[in-house]
Amino acid sequence: MTTKETSFVTRIKWGHVALHLLLIAGSLVMLLPFFWMLTTSFKQPSELFTYPPTWFPENLEWSNYEDALTSMPFERFYFNSVFVASTVTIIQILTSSLAAFAFARLQFRGRDTIFTLYLAALMIPFPVLLIPNFIIVNKLDWLDTYWALIIPPAFSAFSTFLLRQHFKTLPLDLDESARIDGATSLRIWWNIILPLSKTSIAAISILVFLGSWNDFLWPLVVTNSDSMQTVPVGLNSFQGQYSVKWNLLMAAAVVAMLPVIIIYAFAQKWFIRGITMSGMGGR
């Protein structure tokens, strides 16, 4: 290897080192709020507003977690969030994949026009749809029920768009061969398209589950009783009219984050591969 080539390789390696250092520094900056939340969950009330602020509490108050979980029906909030988020994810994947299959693999009059109108729903912000959805749910007598928490978020133009983009990358020869063997459209969707789209479906499922888990505004509007509230709405109970129990709120927030962290930790590879294959990776 010549001197020029050695210098070029060295320069490239130093560039990689600088890039990684920059990424590590950015990661640490983004993790600081989570670290502050974790340390605050162990602080006594007298340590919350000390100046200068203290990063580490003098004594770890484990009782904050016990008080946070027993001061309200947190188990019920957790069950509601898990049930609603899981059900919304399953229904949304089914409905979105069926719609995406029709838009990507079937030929019918007005298909592209209907899909364009379908995508127009993405430009409407959720607060605009809040009142119409609430009126419909109220007319159906679904307020303070699982129906109100599950049915409206169970249909998504965004998920349909992402799955359609992935379905269009699959060869149409698969459909034609299956139809020659007598397969119907539903059988092609279930036995061919879905198995070949596991990574994209996994990525979108993670996004849908996390979005439903963290949703606050819609559950706040359609629920009244503690038995139907989800975790984000339950966390709001720590905020009183004149004060906020920050140590208990942070303790409950740490517990609420555990499913999100666990899901992403186990599904990270699927998530990254699915983001790339579904069209969100900038291809």
AA identity, residue 54:
T
Residue 229 has a pLDDT of 92
Q: What is the mean pLDDT of residues 68-78?
A: 86
pTM, entire model: 0.82
Token readout for 96 is 């979105």
DSSP 8-state symbol, 242: S
The answer to whether 153 touches 92, Cβ cutoff 8 Å, is: yes
Q: What is the mean pLDDT of residues 18-25?
A: 87
How many other C-beta atoms are found inside a 10 Å radius of the C-beta of residue 138? 12
The answer to whether 168 touches 246, Cβ cutoff 8 Å, is: no
The model's pLDDT over 192-232, given as tens digits with 9 standing for 90+, comes to: 999 988 888 888 888 899 899 999 999 999 998 888 999 99
pLDDT class for 283, splitting at 50, 70, 90? very low
The answer to whether 12 touches 19, Cβ cutoff 8 Å, is: no
Q: What is the mean pLDDT of residues 151-178?
A: 90
Token readout for 125 is 């912000």
Burial 141-154 (b: 16+ CB within 10 A, else e): ebebeeebbbbbbb
Q: What is the mean pLDDT of residues 1-7?
A: 53
E strands, 64-106, are none
Quickly tell me which residue has 């004060």 as its tokens. 243
Residue 10 has a pLDDT of 53
Residue 238 has a pLDDT of 77
Residue 282 has a pLDDT of 46
pLDDT at 80 over 90: yes
Residue 71 has a pLDDT of 82
Residue 190 has a pLDDT of 93
The answer to whether 72 touches 234, Cβ cutoff 8 Å, is: yes
pLDDT class for 270, splitting at 50, 70, 90? low
pLDDT at 36 over 50: yes
pLDDT at 7 over 70: no
pLDDT at 277 over 80: no
In the three-class reduction of DSSP (H, G, I as helix; E, B as strand; rest coil), residue 244 is classed as: strand
Q: Does residue 39 or residue 5 have the better pLDDT?
A: 39
Supply the mean pLDDT for the chain. 85
